């Protein structure tokens, strides 16, 4: 369909272009003709004109002019003297710019006018009585003596009607030819596509009589049908939505249930102080992105049961249906002992891999005891997956650095599984990665996946370089794939995003109400300027640098003292790790110092809100703020930046964004800064608070349009479509192998 529209538009443009060219050319020819005709008319009447030129011959002169005006295409004629006086004219001669004086100014009567026929003449188009006329003024010489000039006014209407006819003819001819060409092309492509698929179907029918080939032929036949269906649906895909994702899953993966493996669960059950049980949404970019996908696809989410009331809310198999009230999928909780949690989660994952992958100046700590736990927990999760599957080739989506070994462990036990792995954090360069004592084992583990996703191409490249340096494997740089043990792992960038429209924006109060509530809660004066930061309390987020930038802002711009307030929402995170405890102390001291330095009375420039905030409250702050500052020192994507944009359906508010986030490559209308450069960051904060509403709207609108299109359904859809393709290929080759084995 799209091809047909493009073809029609192309043909219309071609026809229009041809018409314009033909019209211009014929008009030039006609005008040239008129000029020549005028010259011929003067040549023919020259003798009579010269003989009757003086006053005594005025009647004769009039007769000559009347004679000339008999030509059906000449409307009027006049004769003017060399000094611009009218000598005679036919009835109907006139017009604003046709007086002898005006025309005389354009005609040349010098010696050069005799160089060649028509040399001193002037030709042009004038408007007389509402119609265009073509005027030729031709000099008349008696020997070398210039007598004056003859003005012929040609009727143009006949040219215009000829032109219209020529135009219509060209349009018809071109339109006909173009339509015929398009039709022939379309029919040819349909026929060749149809004959190709019919030919395969025919071969399948013939080969289908041999029972040995039937399983393979069934697959090929399905494949042909699917390719036909894909071709048709790809043309009308449109925007990615939950519904489109479901349809895509049905088409590519036959609606088979997907199993997500992620350390963090999307809903945690926690005991409240009053003894009741509440549900908490953890602060996690991974959860934010993945939860709408699993909701749309009704799968199973295998996660660590880390909530204080998690064990009380599951069935005998460790499962609980969520979301509360909607119950569209299951969480399968995996229980970890305190030692396992310490070694696997706090130890190897968060003191080892986390600082290894982030360039944020924290030294990775590798303890072999932690790694033993990491390995054991990866086994435990792979076992849990095995208990959830109902096919020998399930679709498993492994998430993040907690499970580098799981893809291979799953593949060992389910060789035909379609395993994708998404790495939510950056991947360092090969040299840096090389400091990990278990680098080879981690890489081998990840290569158990069929598809390995990162946020950016740079992270993919770093991964491929690491494989190149530390493993015996073939890298196919054209395909971005690693080939090992006869299997390929595709390595692809899939930049993660948010559901669109964001659930929490839709349920949020109006922006004015959010602003009024937040201002009242923080005790801000009505003309205050509010900045927000929303993060887990993590050293990679650049929270120290952010508060230092606020301090610098107040130092450099005294007018903002007493007015600018920065509210930092910080969810405590990984608090058992010393580095995180230190960060907490540093931030507290820093906020106290800035407040001490610039606070007055009840005014405090920095408000630290260090507790877990549920999404509705976070969105209230996003909607209340004048700016949001995301200052990560290194971040795979950073979904807070995208959430702020998603929250601002009023198209106001300014995003100040670190250049070291994946999001900075996409949200280019944010004010992009180097968070280490406090002068640059504070200037950006100052620009943000003084930005006009119009500019805010323009920037916000562009960023919203980007996220609306590149939403999380597209992220998952692209990855799952790729997984579906790999799956079909694998199914086909294993059938071929089995049939070949049976034939021997
Ligand atoms: O997005 C990166 C990430 O580490 C996720 O893997 C994780 O769920 C999230 O940040 C929060 O971290 P944690 O689960 O350790 O609280």
Q: Parallel, antiparallel, or unpaired for β 74-81 and 145-155?
A: antiparallel
**pLDDT score for 187:** 66
Pocket-testing residue among 400, 576, 635, 643, ligand 1, by greatest number of atoms within 8 A of Cβ: 400
Q: Which residues touch 222 (CB under 8 Å, ≥6 apart)?
A: none
Dist CA 710 CA 17 (whole Å): 37
Q: Whose CA is nearest to atom 14 of ligand 1?
A: 264
Residues of the chain with pLDDT under 70: 1-9, 11, 55-57, 174-175, 178, 181-182, 185-237
Name residue, tokens 């996660």: 303
Coil, strand or helix at 84: coil
Give residue 239 CA to ligand 1 midpoint distance, Å.
29
**pLDDT score for 629:** 99
SS (H, E, C) 298-348: CCEEEEECCCCCCHHHCCCCCEEEECCCCCCEEEEEECCCHHHHHHHHHHH
Coil, strand or helix at 81: strand
Report pLDDT digits (tens) over 153-175. 988 887 778 777 877 777 777 66
**CB contact at 8 A, 320 and 314:** yes
Pocket-testing residue among 286, 291, 426, ligand 1, by greatest number of atoms within 8 A of Cβ: 286
Dist CA 355 CA 373 (whole Å): 18
**50-87: b or e for each residue (b if 16 or more CB lie within 10 Å)?**
bebbeeebeeebbebbeebbeeeebbbbbbbebebeeb
Based on its alpha-carbon atoms, the radius of gyration of the chain, rounded to whole angstroms, reads 40
Cα 361 versus chain centre, distance? 33
**CB contact at 8 A, 287 and 294:** no
Ligand 1 site, residue 295, Cβ cutoff 6 A: no
Structure tokens belonging to residue 178: 């173009």
Torsion from C-alpha of 93, 95, 100, 105, nearest 10 degrees = -140
Give the percent of the chain with pLDDT over 70: 90
**pLDDT score for 225:** 46
**pLDDT score for 1:** 54
Ligand 1 site, residue 590, Cβ cutoff 6 A: no
Q: Parallel, antiparallel, or unpaired for β 86-89 and 145-155?
A: unpaired
Coil, strand or helix at 107: coil
**CA distances from residue 501 to 182, 242, 505, 613 in whole angstroms, order as listed:** 40, 11, 7, 21
Report pLDDT digits (tens) over 257-300. 899 999 999 999 999 999 999 999 999 999 999 999 999 888 99
**CB contact at 8 A, 595 and 565:** no
Ligand 1 site, residue 425, Cβ cutoff 6 A: yes
DSSP structure string for 259-297 = EEE-SS-SSEEEE-TTS-EEEE----HHHHHHHHHHHHH
Q: Parallel, antiparallel, or unpaired for β 258-261 and 300-304?
A: parallel
Ligand 1 site, residue 286, Cβ cutoff 6 A: yes
Give residue 284 CA to ligand 1 midpoint distance, Å.
5
**CB contact at 8 A, 671 and 631:** no
DSSP structure string for 393-456 = S-EEEEESGGGSSHHHHHHHH-TT-EEEEE--S----HHHHTTSTTHHHHHHHHTTSSEEEESS
Give residue 156 CA to ligand 1 midpoint distance, Å.
79
List residues bridging with 137 in a β-sheet.
122, 151
**CB contact at 8 A, 79 and 65:** yes
Ligand 1 site, residue 90, Cβ cutoff 6 A: no
Ligand 1 site, residue 135, Cβ cutoff 6 A: no
For the CA of 401, the closest atom of ligand 1 is 6
**CA distances from residue 374 to 172, 262, 400, 428, 463 in whole angstroms, order as listed:** 75, 14, 13, 20, 21
What is the pLDDT of the chain when averaged over all its residues? Answer: 89
For the CA of 538, the closest atom of ligand 1 is 12
Kindly report the pTM of this predicted structure: 0.71
Ligand 1 site, residue 399, Cβ cutoff 6 A: no
Cα-flanking dihedrals φ and ψ of residue 435, to 5°?
-75, -10
Q: Whose CA is nearest to atom 9 of ligand 1?
A: 284
**pLDDT score for 232:** 37
**pLDDT score for 257:** 85
Q: Whose CA is nearest to atom 7 of ligand 1?
A: 284
Q: Whose CA is nearest to atom 16 of ligand 1?
A: 573
For the CA of 574, the closest atom of ligand 1 is 15
Report pLDDT digits (tens) over 346-385. 999 999 999 999 999 999 999 999 999 999 999 999 999 9
Give residue 286 CA to ligand 1 midpoint distance, Å.
6
Dist CA 31 CA 26 (whole Å): 9
**CB contact at 8 A, 325 and 359:** no
Give residue 515 CA to ligand 1 midpoint distance, Å.
29
For the CA of 639, the closest atom of ligand 1 is 1
Residue 351 DSSP symbol:
I
């Amino acid at each position: 369909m799209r091809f047909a529209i493009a073809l029609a538009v192309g043909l219309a443009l071609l026809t229009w272009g041809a018409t314009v060219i033909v019209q211009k050319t014929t008009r030039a020819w006609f005008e040239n003709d008129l000029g020549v005709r005028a010259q011929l008319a003067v040549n023919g009447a020259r003798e009579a004109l010269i003989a009757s030129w003086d006053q005594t011959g005025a009647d004769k002169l009039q007769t000559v002019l009347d004679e000339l005006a008999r030509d059906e295409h000449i409307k009027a004629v006049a004769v003017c003297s060399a000094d611009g006086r009218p000598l005679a004219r036919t009835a109907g001669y006139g017009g604003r710019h046709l007086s002898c004086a005006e025309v005389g100014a354009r005609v040349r009567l010098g010696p050069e006018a005799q160089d060649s026929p028509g040399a001193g003449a002037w030709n042009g188009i004038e408007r007389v009585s509402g119609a265009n006329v073509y005027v030729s003024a031709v000099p008349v010489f008696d020997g070398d003596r210039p007598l004056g000039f003859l003005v012929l006014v040609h009727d143009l209407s006949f040219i215009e009607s000829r032109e219209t006819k020529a135009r219509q003819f060209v349009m018809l001819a071109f339109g006909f030819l173009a339509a015929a060409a398009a039709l022939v092309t379309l029919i040819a492509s349909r026929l060749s596509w149809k004959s190709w698929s019919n030919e395969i179907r025919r071969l399948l029918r013939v080969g289908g009589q041999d029972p040995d080939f039937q399983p393979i032929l069934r697959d090929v036949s399905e494949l042909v049908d699917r390719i036909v269906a894909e071709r048709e649906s790809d043309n009308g895909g449109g925007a990615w939505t939950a519904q489109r994702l479901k349809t895509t899953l049905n088409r590519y993966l036959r609606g088979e249930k997907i199993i997500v493996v992620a350390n963090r669960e999307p809903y945690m059950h926690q005991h409240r102080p009053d003894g009741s049980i509440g549900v908490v949404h953890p602060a996690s970019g991974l959860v934010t992105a993945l939860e709408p996908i699993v909701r749309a696809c009704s799968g199973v989410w295998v996660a660590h049961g880390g909530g204080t009331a998690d064990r009380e809310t599951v069935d005998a198999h460790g499962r609980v249906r969520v979301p509360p009230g909607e119950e569209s999928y299951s969480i399968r909780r995996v229980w970890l002992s305190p030692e396992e949690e310490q070694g696997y989660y706090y130890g190897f994952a968060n003191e080892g891999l986390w600082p290894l992958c982030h360039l944020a100046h924290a030294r990775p700590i590798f303890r072999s005891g932690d790694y033993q736990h990491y390995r054991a927990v990866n086994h435990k999760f792979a076992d849990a997956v095995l208990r959830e599957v109902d096919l020998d080739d399930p679709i498993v989506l492994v998430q993040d650095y907690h499970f580098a070994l799981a893809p291979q462990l799953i593949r060992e036990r389910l060789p035909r599984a379609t395993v994708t792995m998404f790495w939510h954090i950056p991947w360092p360069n090969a040299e840096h990665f090389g400091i990990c004592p278990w680098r080879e084992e981690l890489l081998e583990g990840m290569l158990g996946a069929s598809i390995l996703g990162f946020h950016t191409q740079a992270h993919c490249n770093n991964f491929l370089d690491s494989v190149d340096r530390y493993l015996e494997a073939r890298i196919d740089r054209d395909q971005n794939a690693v080939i090992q043990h006869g299997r390929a792992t595709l390595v692809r960038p899939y930049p993660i995003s948010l559901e669109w429209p964001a659930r929490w924006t839709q349920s949020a109060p109006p922006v004015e109400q959010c602003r009024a509530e937040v201002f009242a809660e923080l005790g801000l004066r009505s003309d205050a300027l509010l900045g927000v930061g929303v993060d887990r309390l993590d050293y990679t987020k650049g929270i120290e640098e952010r508060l230092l930038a606020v301090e610098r802002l107040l130092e450099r711009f005294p007018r903002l003292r007493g007015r600018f307030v920065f509210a930092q929402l910080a969810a405590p995170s990984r608090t058992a790790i010393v580095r995180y405890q230190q960060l907490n102390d540093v931030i507290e001291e820093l906020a106290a110092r800035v407040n001490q330095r610039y606070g007055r009375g009840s005014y405090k420039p920095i408000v630290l809100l260090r507790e877990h905030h549920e999404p509705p409250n976070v969105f209230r702050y996003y909607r209340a703020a004048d700016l949001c500052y995301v200052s990560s020192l290194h971040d795979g994507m950073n979904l807070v930046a995208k959430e702020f944009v998603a929250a601002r359906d009023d198209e106001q508010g300014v995003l100040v964004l670190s250049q070291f986030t994946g999001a900075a490559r996409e949200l280019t209308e944010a004010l992009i800064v180097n968070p280490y450069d406090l002068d640059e960051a504070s200037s950006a904060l100052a620009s943000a608070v003084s930005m006009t509403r119009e500019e805010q709207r323009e920037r916000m609108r562009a960023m919203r349009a980007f996220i609306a299109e590149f939403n999380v359904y597209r992220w998952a859809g692209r990855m799952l479509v790729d997984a579906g393709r790999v799956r079909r290929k694998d199914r086909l080759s294993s059938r071929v192998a089995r049939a070949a084995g049976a034939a021997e």
